Chains A and B, each alone.
Chain A
Amino acid sequence: MAKGPKDAATKGANKPALSLHVPEPTYRPGDAVDFAHIVVPDAGKQPRPDETCEAIETSDLCYDLVRVLGDDNKAHGPWDPKLDPDTLRTMLGHFAMVRAFDERMFRGQRQGKTSFYMKCTGEEATSISAAMALASDDMIFPSYRQQGILIARGYPLIEMINQIYSNKGDKLKGRQLPIMYSSREHSFFSISGNLATQTPQAVGWAMASAIKGDTRIAATWVGEGSTAEGDFHSACTFATVYNAPVILNVINNQWAISSFSGFAGAERTTFAARALGYGLAGLRVDGNDPLAVYAAEKWAADRARANAGPTLIEHFTYRAEGHSTSDDPSGYRSAQERDEWPLGDPVTRLKDHLIALGEWDEDRQAAMDLKCAEEVKAATKEAEKNGILGHGLHHPFRTMFQDVYENLPWHLEEQAAQAKREREIKWPGEEPWS
């Protein structure tokens, strides 16, 4: 009988020792980068099955990469959504705006106007192009890096900034960490800090829409790191069991804070391929190709609307900046990665496409970038009139106790009274609830 590790080792002496595989990213700080191992297929070569096809017919696409924009900056193949130039310019305008917004808010955090910010640089297409393929009342269950959807849906910049500053204009009353937006009016679900929780919620919303015989669908966004959460498994299972009209967007930006995608399982398969085991349709898309992202999202939306079932889309992209204002990526990855990333930059690619079409030029781009920066600046100034974090212009103190429940129970009444007393002691003579 084996009594412990020593005996067990002796017993198996004639067998090879087992070894644990701990994934390692290819490049660490200081390393030269060579992304030759990433297979980038030619644009336009991927077949486009009918939206109502059996899920299994998407098998090959789960290991491929749907691409439309080629190196020649032209659109190719069956996935070309054939968007008119005005739509493309609108998309480019949203790109420019979110980039200007990210830039200014990041700076605002560094200037101490707020506690926290997260950019979406390099991933603009995965939110903006995708959202533009949906109806404006399709329900979005986002993670924290889809600010582009709010911008694409026309959510006022000032409301976003009020939320980031937690000021007295903040619609969420200063309760939420910056960037955890919510807008029912824009069918944008309240963002939670707890990862992947939104995925089964999106499926439930889609089920509800189906139960009521509605025509709206739901779409959710989750990072590749968060696909390791149990909620994501539940979401995929429920989506397929009930044939829910939902799109599960996995943003594979290669990094979950400091952990590379290998820790979510990327070394052995694609994230799109997970769809197949659940019986979901799966698509793997060049996430920096705005036309491919639009086309894939539209395909999935049409599929859901036709009651043909849910789709999982892996958007293959790269998180060009740090995880957040609290993160310094130079501590864990090569600074060269961003420049060497083989799929380029989504903004540049769309701009170059429009220029190739003869519908845009660098001067107009420069003017648009400037206009966006000025708009954001103006919105920032306007929002600052409502206060910045820690400068006293916040929602009245009593709002801290509201909305925990629909009505204030006695114990919260008592605690609110205590908070009021504390304020009266701290600032005698002033309005304690202000």
Chain B
Amino acid sequence: MSTKTKDNNPAEAGSERRLNMIEAINEALDIKMTEDPDVIIMGEDVGYFGGVFRATAGLQEKHGKNRVFDTPISECGIIGAAVGMGAYGLRPVPEIQFADYIYPGLDQLISEAARLRYRSATDYIAPLTVRSPFGGGIFGGQTHSQSPEALFAHVAGLKTVIPSTPHDAKGLLIAAIEDNDPVIFFEPKRIYNAPFTGYYDKPVEPWKTHRDSVVPEGKYSIPLGKARIAQEGEALTVLVYGTMVHVAEAVCREKGIDAEIIDLRTIVPLDIEAIEASVEKTGKCLIVHEATRTAGFGAELSALVTERCFYHLEAPVERVTGFDTPYPHSLEWAYFPGPVRIGEAIDKLMSE
């Protein structure tokens, strides 16, 4: 069952230490590197410099060049080498600098990492965790804003994980590194430093005051495939992940809607029980993601909800997504599925 657990409210755990998402990721990497000598970090600029987003800052100095190192600019080479390291017995954590640049590594991910266990009947496995910043809302234009999670959701053998809070980022990353299957770990870079509500014209609330930035020291993990009820409610179910969790929360708060917001956290394998339980309770379902609409992961969610909760639905499932265009630069806020688009969908659902 994926009901509200103590993971959801770390403040109850007694610790009040707060981190932003970058610090939480860095801490997860440090903990796993310290604990497991087979964990290796590799990628462009991750070594001496500590990563363009600082996620690997200090790790090379602490764990040595043999375990944290820079790579040539070759995504195919990074993932391919990581598959070979996995076959040897290491547990590589390669970084792809932006999710927009993961495509040269796709053959290695889809044809190799995802299939290795199956095709070799467990002779060889690929226990990699590919970390990559993804998502828009940062004026990143076409090649620093994409959300390609649906491409990976379609690949049998891969797991795709997307945290939305510092607390979850640490626990999910530790679980991903320990997982024996290849995991795509997408980090919503818009919320690395602060949660983002989609109200780009209003001041940003820092992680410092957010309930989910309380990050316990030491090791804890959050199981892959389990959703988090970000907010309990009765009127409507919102299925969401990454940055859009915070946008959906803000819009529902603004509109005074008693929504149940489910942060999926892992899109494959999906927490279908949490989704069914919520939609059966509310009878209405809104799906929100930043990625383009057609054949996006929202289509899979919508199909599942329709197939499995049809007789509980009081209205057609609604999808709020990015438009089916490349991510534009100057028109970012017209593209981004922000409060107006989400608000309209909520109004439509609530009027049924």
Residues of A within 8 A of B (CB): 139, 141, 171-173, 175-176, 180, 182-184, 189-190, 192-194, 197, 199-209, 211-212, 218, 230-231, 233-235, 237-238, 241, 403-406, 409-411
Contact = CB atoms under 8 A, between A and B. Distances in A.
A171 B77 contact: no
A180 B181 CA distance: 22
Contacts of B5: none
A238 B83 CA distance: 14
B120 interface: yes
Nearest to B269: A409
A147 B88 CA distance: 22
Given A211-B66, A404-B157, A182 B120 contact: yes
A406 B112 CA distance: 16
A405 B117 contact: yes
A205 B120 contact: no
Interface in B82-122: 82-85, 87-90, 92, 104, 107-108, 111-112, 115-122
A237 B74 contact: yes
Nearest to A399: B121
A403 B118 contact: yes
B8 interface: no
B111 A190 contact: no
Interface string B47-91: 000000000000000000011000110101100111111011110
A141 B124 contact: no
B121 A200 contact: no
A230 B76 contact: yes
Contacts of A231: 76-77, 80, 107-108
B72 A189 contact: no
A200 B108 contact: yes
5 contacts: A180-B119, A190-B124, A237-B72, A406-B180, A411-B269
Sorted nearest first, the 4 A-B pairs with minimum C-beta distance are A204-B84, A200-B80, A204-B81, A234-B77
Contact of A403 (B67, B72, B117, B159): B117
B85 A208 contact: yes
A295 B6 CA distance: 64
B75 to A, nearest CB: 9
Contacts of B90: 208, 211-212
A180 B111 CA distance: 14
Contacts of A405: 117, 157, 159, 181, 269
B107 A241 contact: no
Given A172-B120, A182-B121, A205-B88, A241 B67 contact: no
Nearest to A183: B123
Interface string B115-145: 1111111111100000000000000000000
Given A201-B112, A209-B88, A211-B40, A182 B119 contact: yes
A278 B119 CA distance: 33
Given A139-B88, A193-B111, A409-B225, 12 more contacts: A190-B120, A194-B111, A203-B81, A204-B81, A204-B92, A205-B84, A207-B84, A208-B85, A211-B85, A230-B104, A231-B76, A406-B179
A410 B276 CA distance: 13
B89 A208 contact: yes
B83 A190 contact: no
B299 interface: no
A221 B225 CA distance: 39
Contacts of B115: 192
Nearest to A410: B272
Contacts of A211: 40, 66-67, 85, 90
Contact of A197 (B89, B107, B124, B225): B107
Contacts of B111: 192-194, 197
Contacts of A194: 107, 111-112
Given A182-B119, A197-B112, A209-B88, A204 B74 contact: no
Contacts of B156: 404
A201 B119 contact: no
A403 B126 CA distance: 12
A173 B121 contact: yes
A208 B88 contact: yes
B270 interface: yes
A141 B40 CA distance: 21
B10 to A, nearest CB: 27
A406 B117 contact: yes
Contacts of B89: 208
Contact of A237 (B77, B104, B268): B77
Contacts of A203: 77, 80-81, 84
B117 A200 contact: no
A199 B80 contact: yes
A197 B108 contact: yes
A404 B74 contact: no
Contacts of A176: 119
Nearest to A395: B121
A288 to B, nearest CB: 30
A180 B123 CA distance: 13
A212 B67 CA distance: 10
Nearest to A240: B72
A339 B233 CA distance: 80
B269 A238 contact: no
Contacts of A171: 121, 123
Contacts of A175: 118-119, 121
Contacts of A183: 123
Contacts of B116: 190
A278 B9 CA distance: 53
A197 B115 CA distance: 13
Interface in B241-257: none
Nearest to B158: A405
Contact of B119 (A192, A208, A411): A192
A190 B86 CA distance: 13
Contacts of B87: 139, 189, 201, 204-205
Contacts of A204: 80-85, 87-88, 92
Interface string B147-183: 0000000001101000000000000000000011100
A207 B123 contact: no
Contacts of B71: 238, 241
A213 to B, nearest CB: 9
Contact of A190 (B67, B108, B123, B157): B123
Contact of B76 (A189, A193, A234): A234
Contact of B80 (A234, A404, A406): A234
